[in-house]
Amino acid sequence: MSKVRELINSFKKKVGLEEVIILSEFRKKKLLDEFHTFYDSNKNGCIEWKDFVLARENICKMNGWKLGSEKFMYVHQVFTKLWQELNECADENTDGKVSTDEWLSFWLKDYIELKERQNIEAKKQKKKPNEIHMNIYENVPVWLEDYIQYKFNLLNRTGDGIVDGDEFEYTLGLFDIPAKDCRTAFIMLTENNSKKINFPYFRKLALQYYRSDDETDVGNFINGRLTFSDELDK
């Protein structure tokens, strides 16, 4: 049994839940877009370690991060840690591959942990869980914090601490995101260029992308996508 399945059963037992705990359809679309755009290089519907190695090498090459450099080593560390987490938490059949279902299961683990904290807070305040706001910006696991830092570094090619429009468009263009969509997404992310995308702001945007079901969140556009296809998981 995977850690995710154990966590679901444990959570249900604690709070007396019988319903199935699932991610929203909208969040599934976002997470599957991440899966297919950045990792499933051969488009076979699953991720293997060799896909991670290839993605890591391509990303370092794109950005000029040389072997042994600080950013090269950071990317190596993040990818290795993420792969370990994926295998330990989501690879239910232990075949060394992560399918789309297992990828979603991996992200479900974080959602369940947020739900559990929401339930604890509800008991403290003597309220129902759905009356308590789920704070997506707190209690972020280390692996996700590291992953968000990596994504920021990927976009901030010059390393000046601010992601500008040219960097955003160029970097995501390397992953076949249309330039026009990138420009539109950047305008929305920066509220018509009135905000700078520094790391604290990017972190907020990224947590909206990975943890929120709100379709109006600006963070939904951090990968340059304006819409998410229903066909991504097929």
Tell me what the mean pLDDT of segment 123-127 comes to.
Answer: 89
Instruction: Write the CB contacts of 154 (distance below 8 Å, at least 6 apart in sequence).
Output: 59, 63, 171
| Other Cβ atoms closer than 10 A to 177 | 19
| Other Cβ atoms closer than 10 A to 164 | 18
> pLDDT tens digits, residue range 102-121?
899 889 988 988 888 888 88
Instruction: Write the CB contacts of 97 (distance below 8 Å, at least 6 apart in sequence).
Output: 46, 47, 48, 91
Encoding tokens for residue 66?
């040389």
Whether residue 108 contacts residue 22, with contact meaning beta carbons closer than 8 Å, is answered with yes
Please report, as a single letter, which amino acid is at residue 29. K
DSSP for residue 195? S
pLDDT value of residue 5 = 54
Q: Which residue has the higher pLDDT, 78 or 205?
A: 205
pLDDT value of residue 41 = 76
Q: Dihedral of CA 146/173/58/62: which sign? A: negative
Domains of the chain: 3-221 (1.10.238.10)
Q: Assign 202 a pLDDT band (cuts: 50, 70, 90).
A: very high
In the Cβ-directed half-sphere of 75, how many Cα atoms lie within 13 Å?
A: 24
| Residue 37 phi, psi (nearest 5) | -75, -45
pLDDT value of residue 11 = 45
Whether residue 47 contacts residue 35, with contact meaning beta carbons closer than 8 Å, is answered with yes
Q: Assign 150 a pLDDT band (cuts: 50, 70, 90).
A: very high
Instruction: Write the CB contacts of 230 (distance below 8 Å, at least 6 apart in sequence).
Output: 29
Encoding tokens for residue 114?
């947020």
Whether residue 79 contacts residue 146, with contact meaning beta carbons closer than 8 Å, is answered with no
